[in-house]
Structure 1
């Protein structure tokens, strides 16, 4: 005969098991399980300070500075990829730098900001969490496990990192940026204020990437030829923009650029663009994948098991 248990004890056990089920998993609920850079190379950027130091990245700033939030790390002094970590050591953003005094004068005055001068470099900064929390409380281990590479994307657009922010829409259906074409292993590009007869001096240096209706990453896009020891830039030929845009600005026909794709997921190889030629098709695609489904199925199975256990006692 089964022993009768105190209902309060049973309730505590139930809550404890449910909490463990919801939080003890390795795949984030939002699907942001990685931070990768460069198309077709998909190089992993360390998402914790411990990983960064194990890969010989060097700390170059404290968390709270005049113009940024986050502890900056660099590899061999290369400013192309500067991960930002919160006070608990979890990824909070990504920064890049361009040398001051490029031969062609890039970036133009119209792009300052989002480019902000910092010593001998112009910095461009993206945050994956609200900058207000980065140096105050950061994220807990549980939050990092649940949300991976953050729940947000903010582009810093001025000297105050907690006020001067452009929030990027998570859902493709909500963005007001100009929709481009879908390219395999990239997804759909979206461009800010894109016009055929625009001046390239005003071409916004960030594009966004959507696939299955959700934000999957973004792109640094610069009007100059740049070099990096950490990761090779992408150097698209002018004709390649025909693969990314419905209408290509005339000024891009004679301008070489350096770009770098940044991904929040570990599987950009699966962005095939098949049957995704129109916005309506893209938005009909499912937003979850097998890993998320497995997590949710596990939760339901655990709840069902606990329910049966309670009924038996």
Structure 2
């Protein structure tokens, strides 16, 4: 059982069976189950700055990786604070709600760029911000 300080805005307790953070039960300060959390080890997190969008943190991207291992979610930080998250799907989804970067732009927000993505054509990405993205200066 992990106890979070009551002074924290995330007060309560978390339980990870046998230390496995794949599924964590979150209890509120009254002892009721308040939610579930899924965790991943943070090894291999890579960052890249994209001015106006924030610092992109990618999980375990490597130049020679298989696209089957590409984790399609990234975190966005601005001024060293978590400010959003995003999805990067390895296909060109036909909605105008997505951004559609092609392989010539990948190096602007990924470093290194997995070689397998160059064969994907365009990605479909979506950024979800917790503040005004016009104020993201990294």
Counting only pairs closer than 5 Å after superposition, residues 251-270 of structure 1 correspond to structure 2 as 251-255=116-120, 256-265=122-131, 267-270=132-135
Give me the CA root mean square deviation.
Answer: 2.9
Paired residue secondary structure (1:204) = coil
Offset at 1:263? 0.6
Paired residue secondary structure (1:233) = coil
Paired residue secondary structure (1:162) = strand
Shift >3 Å, 4+ stretches: 130-133
User: What's 2:6 paired with?
Assistant: none
User: What's 2:110 paired with?
Assistant: 245
Query: TM-score if structure 1 supplies the norm length?
Result: 0.32
Query: TM-score if structure 2 supplies the norm length?
Result: 0.67
Cα deviation digits, residues 33-70 of structure 1 (max 9, x gap) = xxxxxxxxxxxxxxxxxxxxxxxxxxxxxxxxxxxxxx
Offset at 1:209? 0.9
Instruction: Return the structure number with greater strand share.
Output: 2
Paired residue secondary structure (2:116) = helix
Cα deviation digits, residues 208-229 of structure 1 (max 9, x gap) = 111211111111111122234x
Q: Equivalent of 1:234, from 99, 115, 122?
A: 99
User: What's 1:208 paired with?
Assistant: 75
Contact 1:177 1:190 in 2 (8 A): no
Offset at 1:180? 2.7
Q: Equivalent of 2:54, from 183, 187, 192?
A: 187
Counting only pairs closer than 5 Å after superposition, residues 1-313 of structure 1 correspond to structure 2 as 162=36, 165-166=38-39, 176-228=43-95, 232-255=97-120, 256-265=122-131, 267-273=132-138
Aligned residues: 112
Offset at 1:177? 4.4
Contact 1:209 1:217 in 2 (8 A): yes
**Separation in 1 of the partners of 2:64 and 2:52?**
29
**Cα separation, partners in 2 of 1:195 and 1:227, compared to 1, 3 Å:** same
Instruction: Return the structure number with greater helix share.
Output: 1
Contact 2:55 2:77 in 1 (8 A): yes
Show structure 1 runs of 5+ residues with no match. 1-29, 31-129, 139-160, 169-174, 274-313
